[in-house]
Amino acid sequence: MLIFATGGMPLGALGIAMAIYVQPYFAQDLGVGLVVLGAAFGVVRLIDVFVDMLLALAMDRTRTRIGRYRPWLLLGAPILMVAVYQLFMAQKGIGLGFLVVWLLVMNLGLSTLYIARFAWSATLVTQYSKRALFYGVLARVTVIGNVMVLAIPVIAAAFPHPSMANSVHLMGWAILAMTPITVILAALLVPEQINPDAPSLRAPISDYIDLVKRPELIRLFVMSFGTTLGPGWMANLYIFFFTIARGFTTGQASLLLIFYVLTGALGAPLVGLTAARFSKHRTLIAATICYSLGLCTVLIVPKANFLLSVPVMMWCGYWGAGFDLMSNAMMADVGDQVRLEQGKERMGLLYAVISLAQKLAAAGAVMIAYPLLAAIGFAPKLGVHNSASAIEGLQWCFLLGPIFWVAVGGVCCIGWKLDANRHAVIRTALEERDAALLTPLNEAAMEAPFAPILSSPS
């Protein structure tokens, strides 16, 4: 489980680097306009809608000697690495075309790794309570990559003439180093079981229509969108807010963010244990409320007061860790329900829905927040003086956007019915059916142990 969890380190590092450092770096150091940034991310997300679904359909239908999702993990790594190099090492003069092309390539690699990884993870742990704890462990290990990225500006600040450009370049090299190592470790050392498909008389198109209409899937899509857009909004405005509005240096702001992330890493398994005890959806509702209350206290702390800001960031980091954790664990439960009712593995497609929600949310954080800052007269370029009204607008944008969207995600969990008891019934029925489907294969293997059976049970 720990070896598998290391695959999240480069993905987590990439996510936090892009949102908090690379996008502001494009705007401040490379002179890319806020509206151009918003347009680039918007165009990419519109195209991404179709890419994720096609990838997921292909993954769920894959059956190879080395597994269903393992080959896709190996394919996605080099694609992601090429794009990371181009974006993190970009120079002045880049425009809309450059950003659209390489963001598309990056998202292709990212989607391939994300969908394959989480669809695979859902087959590793199948019990309701253990899944919550397992995804908490995944979140904790993922944060190691986040901390490595966040530590770079802090360390760089201790040397003469630190710059955002050098920090971003080092982040890129760190991600490029982590990606192949973690992917190869998972591919070589983690087992993968391909769940058998049951014979079904239903036409595939009716299965997909059924998925689109499922209340659980709609809820999880909106919930994941809201709980991703809220923190993503905060991340995109974080450097602007803490350096310009709150008076911290970039190194101090990064160090505060390390407290935020580390607390989330330490707290993720505890949040998982809470979910195992009180149910996942109730835990998520509590997390959204506590996160929003903590964010409200940011303006109460005196400006540039590092020590008083630490507890606030730790509180928000602890509760924010539960957002992705719960959505992924709850989607795994929905995947079991879908496989029982449709007889086919749809885990890749279901996690593509989560991936799509998160990507749309990440794009929304840029498409909405950055043009909104431009509309209130805020200028991100180095050396530009912002008026008091522009800085006040920055503060309210930083707070109200995350609180609103996180609340939307929490509301989606009210009335959730797929709890531990319901999931236990589903798992029992699945295990009985899988055992019946595998019995003929086991008997054939006993009769001809050296003749591999390559065909589908269905």
Q: Given the structure tokens 């180095």, which residue do they identify?
A: 382
Coil, strand or helix: which one is 279? coil
Q: What is the mean pLDDT of residues 303-310?
A: 90
Q: What percent of the chain has pLDDT over 90?
A: 32
- 433-452 residue pLDDT tens: 888 876 654 554 445 443 43
Domain 2-191+207-433 CATH (choose: 1.20.1250.20, 3.40.190.10, 3.20.20.70, 3.30.565.10): 1.20.1250.20
> Which of 306-314's residues contact partners 24+ apart within 8 Å by CB, and which partners?
306/248, 306/252, 306/255, 306/256, 309/246, 309/256, 310/256, 310/259, 313/256, 313/257, 313/259, 313/260, 313/263, 314/259, 314/260, 314/263
Highest mean pLDDT among 147-151, 254-258, 330-334: 330-334
- For the chain, the domains span 2-191+207-433
Instruction: Return the pLDDT at 198.
Output: 63
User: What three-state secondary structure class fits 64?
Assistant: strand
Higher pLDDT, 409 or 384: 409
Count the Cβ atoms, other than its own, within 10 Å of residue 201. Answer: 5
Top pLDDT among 164 and 115 is at 115
Q: Where is average pLDDT lowest: 47-51, 220-224, 426-430?
A: 47-51
Q: Which of 76-90, 192-206, 359-373 has the lowest mean pLDDT?
A: 192-206
Q: Find all residues with CB under 8 Å of 101, minimum gap 6, and list them.
A: none
Which is more confident, 21 or 79?
A: 79
pLDDT higher than 50, residue 329: yes
- What's the mean per-residue pLDDT of the chain? 85
How large is the average pLDDT for residues 352-366? 82
Query: Does 38 score more than 80 pLDDT?
Result: no
Q: What is the pLDDT of residue 138?
A: 86
d(Cα 453, Cα 450) in Å, to the nearest integer?
Answer: 9
Segment 290-295 mean pLDDT: 92
- How far apart, in whole angstroms, are the C-alpha atoms of residue 190 and residue 114? 16
pLDDT, residue 76, reads 95
Residue 390 pLDDT grade (very low, low, confident, very high; cuts 50, 70, 90): confident
Query: Which residues make Cβ contacts (< 8 Å) with residue 344, sequence separation at least 6?
Result: 60, 197, 198, 200, 207
Cα–Cα distance, 174 to 10 (Å, whole number): 8
Q: How far is CA 347 from the centre of its chain?
A: 16
The rounded distance, in Å, linking the Cα atoms of 275 and 253 is 31
Distances in whole angstroms, Cα of residue 202 to Cα of each of 56, 205, 207, 342 = 20, 8, 7, 8
Mean pLDDT of 75-92: 93
pLDDT-derived band at 225, boundaries 50, 70, 90: very high
Q: Is the pLDDT of residue 94 over 60?
A: yes
Dihedral class, residue 125 (left if φ above 0, else alpha if ψ from -120 to 50, else beta): beta
For residues 206 and 399, which has the higher predicted lDDT (pLDDT)? 399
Q: Note the pLDDT of residue 384.
A: 66
Burial class (CB in 10 A: 0-12, 13-18, 19+), 456: exposed
Record the pTM: 0.76
pLDDT by residue (tens digit) across 166-203? 889 999 999 999 999 999 999 999 988 877 776 655 66
| Residue (of 276, 277, 287, 408) closest to 333 by Cα position | 276
pLDDT of amino acid 445:
45
Type and span of the H or E element at 38: helix 34-60
Joined together, the tokens standing for residue 54 give 């096609």
Does residue 31 or residue 83 have the better pLDDT? 83
